[in-house]
Amino acid sequence: MSRAKVYKEIEEMFGLVPAMFKKIPDDKLQLEWELFKKVQFDKGPIPNKYRELIGLGISAITKCKYCIFYHTELAKLNGATEEEIEDAIHYAKSSVGWSAYLSGLQFDFDKFKKEITQACNHVKKGTKPKKKK
């Protein structure tokens, strides 16, 4: 597909051709555009709103200002609330914090896996915590 045809598709979708697509060489443009549409916009097993919230969490951790802005706006476009956006970022912060802590301490991975499996099995059984008297 020619550059002009790809640009036409992009403009039909976005109302403009973002400059980031203009930087892609001719021989890669169609491939990159097809991949971008598939990954970013096709329906999949995870609804787009949640995929964007995942993308936002990852972007916050990697500190990519372009990705943070992009995924925030696309999350909103897909119906995410400010509360959901904050929650996704807070969850990412918590996850990376625990990752740093466990990795930094070189915590025993086999022990960790055993304890997490045990805890999940406990929750699956519906065991209620004992009430304090």
Residues 89 and 101 grouped into a single domain: yes
At 118, which CATH number?
Answer: 1.20.1290.10
Residues 63 and 116 grouped into a single domain: yes
Taking the C-alpha atoms of residue 6 and residue 8, their distance in angstroms, rounded to an integer, is 5
pLDDT tens per residue, range 61-118: 999 999 999 999 999 999 999 999 999 999 999 999 999 999 999 999 999 999 999 9
pLDDT attached to residue 89:
97
Q: Are 53 and 86 in contact (CB under 8 A)?
A: no
Q: Is the pLDDT of residue 130 over 70?
A: no
pLDDT tens per residue, range 28-74: 999 999 999 999 989 899 999 999 999 999 999 999 999 999 999 99
- Classify the phi-psi angles of 21: left when phi > 0, otherwise alpha if psi is within -120 to 50, otherwise beta: alpha
* Angle, helix 48-62 to helix 65-77, in steps of 10 degrees: 160
The length of the chain in residues reads: 133
Q: At residue 69, what is the residue type? A: F
* Structural domains in the chain (count): 2
Q: Is the pLDDT of residue 12 over 80?
A: yes
Q: Are 121 and 89 in contact (CB under 8 A)?
A: no
Q: How confident is the model at residue 1 (pLDDT cuts 50, 70, 90)?
A: confident
Residue ranges in 42-105 assigned as alpha helix (H):
48-62, 65-77, 82-104
Residues 28 and 54 grouped into a single domain: no
Residues 37 and 47 grouped into a single domain: no
Average pLDDT, the chain: 94
Q: Is the pLDDT of residue 127 over 70?
A: no
